[in-house]
Structure 1
C-alpha cells in the first residue's frame, strides 16, 4: 500500500526530500527546473548524496534540468560531487523544445516519488511504495533524458 505525505512549505519539502533520498538503494532520478529549491547545496543534502554514491558503482544519480545557471554559479559542492562521482552521477540539460513541464519530481528506485506540482511552489506530495507513479513519471523522465543534448561537465564555478 502506498504511503503519502503532503507538503506545503519549504521546510516540509526538504524533510520529505531527505526522507525519500535516504531510502534510495539503487537509483535516483531528479527532474527539476534548476535545483535552486530543495536545499541541494546544503551540507546535509550533499552528505546524503555523497553517502549514496559511496555505496558502489551499481548506484546511479541522474539529474535533468531545464536551466543550469544556478547549478554552475551557486552549487559548488554539488559540482564537486559531480567531479568526484562522475561515474555514478550525471547531470543533463534538457532541450528547450518542447517547453519543459512546470512540475518537478524525484524518483527513487522503482517505488518512491516526490512531486512538486509547480516549479515556483513547494506544494506537493511524496509517495513511498508507489510503483505506478514511479513508472508513469519514469517513462517521462527517461524519454526527456534520452533527448537532452547538454551534459553538465564538472568544472570550477564561473563567477
Structure 2
C-alpha cells in the first residue's frame, strides 16, 4: 500500500486526528476521555497517514523533552485498515523524523504490541504497569538512525538490536556507530557488563548516557556486576571522568581494575553484556569492529579471556584515594 504522511502542529491539526484517536482509544479500548486528551498534544508534532486516494488511516504524535529524548505516542490505526503494514510504516516514518534530532526514542507499548515494536528495534526497559486500565511496558530505541538505515538491507533483521534475538552482526567502520551500538547493548543488560579497553576514552565513555546506563544496571538489577578493566587510569583522575563518581558511590556493583602488564593481555577492546551481547573493536585507536546481540559463542570465548586478565589485575590506588 502506498502511504503519505502529513505533519501538523496541534493548533493546525485536522479534525481527523481526533476522530481516529476517538475511534481507537476511547470507543474501542475504553480509555477515559480525560486521559486521552492531555497537555502534551500542545507541544507535539502530529502525523496522519493517508492512502493514495487521500483516505486517513492512522495517526501518531512525536515530541522531544528537555533532555533531548524523543517520545512517540498515541499511535492508532483504524480497525478496517489493520494488518496491512500501516502501523509499521508510521513508526518508521516517526523514527526517520527523529533522525539527527535525538539519539534516544521512548514509547509506552500496550503488552500485546511489544513484539510489534521490537520488530523496529525498540527494547523493553521496564516492568509492566497500568495505564488507563491496560497493561503497558516502557520501551526505547537507543540507535534510531542505525536501525532505520538497516530496514533497506537485502536481508531484513527480524528484531534489530534486540538482545538474544538479533542474530546478524552489525559492522562498525565509523566513529559515530560505536556509542549507539554500545548503549543499545548496555541498555538491555540484566546482570553482567564486562568491559576491556586501554583506557576509558573521553569520546566513547565520558558521556552522560553511558554513565546513566551503567548506573541503572548497578542500581536496579539484582546481582548486577559491572567490571571495567583498563591499562591506564590517569585520564580518569585528571578529567574527573563521569564514571569516577559511579565507582566511588557504587563500589559493590561497579569495579575497576588495571591490567597486570606482566601477564598476556588481549590486543583489542571489547564489551560483553550478559551471555549474548558483544561489541569488539579490532584496534584500540580505531572504531572498526562489530557488535552482536545474539552471539553466545563469541561471548563465552571472550569471557574466558577477560576472566584470566581480571584475576591477575590490580585495583586503582589513585581512584581509591580520590575524595567524594
Judge same fold: TM > 0.5, yes or no. yes
C-alpha separation in 2, matches of 1:150 and 1:156: 13
Q: Is the aligned partner of 1:125 residue 2:290?
A: yes
Q: Is the aligned partner of 1:156 residue 2:156?
A: no
Alignment of 1:35-74 (within 5 A): 35-36=200-201, 39-74=204-239
Quick one: which of 195, 199, 203 aligns to 1:34?
199
Alignment RMSD (CA, Å): 1.8
Quick one: which of 80, 85, 88 aligns to 2:250?
85
Judged with a 3 Å threshold, the aligned counterparts in structure 2 of structure 1 residues 135 and 38 are, in CA distance, closer, same or farther, namely farther
Larger Rg: 2
- Count of residues paired in the alignment: 157
Q: Is the 8 A contact 1:10 1:38 kept in 2?
A: no
**How far 1:52 sits from its partner (Å)?**
1.2
Q: Is the 8 A contact 1:91 1:151 kept in 2?
A: yes
C-alpha separation in 2, matches of 1:12 and 1:95: 30
Q: Matched residue of 1:121: which SS?
A: coil
Alignment of 1:15-26 (within 5 A): 15-26=180-191
**How far 1:38 sits from its partner (Å)?**
5.3
Q: Matched residue of 1:24: which SS?
A: coil
Q: Matched residue of 1:102: which SS?
A: coil
Structure 2, unaligned runs of 5 or more: 1-165
Q: Matched residue of 2:279: which SS?
A: strand
Match of 2:58 in 1: none
Structure 1, unaligned runs of 5 or more: none
**CA shift digits 1:74-121 (9 cap, x unpaired):** 243211011111110000001112353330000001111000000011
C-alpha separation in 1, matches of 2:293 and 2:236: 28
C-alpha separation in 2, matches of 1:38 and 1:117: 17
- Where relative contact order (Cα < 8 A, 6+ residues apart) is larger, the structure is 1
Q: Is the 8 A contact 2:194 2:273 kept in 1?
A: yes
Q: Matched residue of 2:270: which SS?
A: strand
Judged with a 3 Å threshold, the aligned counterparts in structure 2 of structure 1 residues 123 and 145 are, in CA distance, closer, same or farther, namely same
Quick one: which of 101, 107, 114 aligns to 2:266?
101
